[in-house]
Amino acid sequence: MKTRKLSDFELEVLQQLWRLEQATTPEVHKQIAAKRDVKYSTVRTIVDRLEQKGAIERLPQAGRAVVFRPLLSRKDVSLPMTRRFVDRVFGGDSRPLLSHLLGNEPLNTEDLDYLESVIARRKKDLADDD
């Protein structure tokens, strides 16, 4: 899973591909152009670069428009990128990030309950270990 570095724009296109499971460049363009003003050929360039980087592949079938689908899963991308981010911005210590997110991101009761359960599990693991 040779996850070469992906640019902002490449990530944005990949997000769309994850959402749609697979799509043509015009489809991806339509999605993104709904938010930002960007030309078709620009999106197409990004799609090509994603293909070159091995992050997506084209499905051979349909004749005219090329259908692409992701080769990398969300996790393939998010795990290494999270690691990198914590290193770059927090010097490797994820705790300030955690408390910031827990303290400020929009979370409902259900979310909080779930996160609490994750902590509980961690605690149990710690207890079991020694």
Which residue in 21, 41, 103, 128 binds a second copy (CB under 8 A)? Answer: 103
Can you tell me the distance from the alpha carbon of 73 to that of 20, in angstroms, rounded to the nearest whole number?
13
In the complex, minimum distance from the CB of residue 19 to a second copy, in angstroms, rounded to a whole number: 8
Measured from the CB atom, the residue of 64 and 88 that comes closer to a second copy is 88
CA 95 to chain centre: 21
Residue 3 touches a second copy, criterion: CB under 8 A:
no
Q: Summarize as ranges the residues that interact with DNA (CB under 7 A).
A: 5-10, 24-26, 37-42, 44-46, 49, 63-66
Show the DSSP H helices in 21-108 as ranges: 25-33, 40-52, 74-90, 95-104
Q: Which of residues 19-38 bind a second copy (CB under 8 A)?
A: 19
Can you tell me the distance from the alpha carbon of 109 to that of 27, in angstroms, rounded to the nearest whole number?
36
Provide the mask over 61-100, with x wherever binding to a second copy is found by CB under 8 A and - wherever it is not: -------------x--xxx-xx--xx-xxxx--xxxxxxx
12 CB contacts (<8 Å, ≥6 apart)? Answer: 32
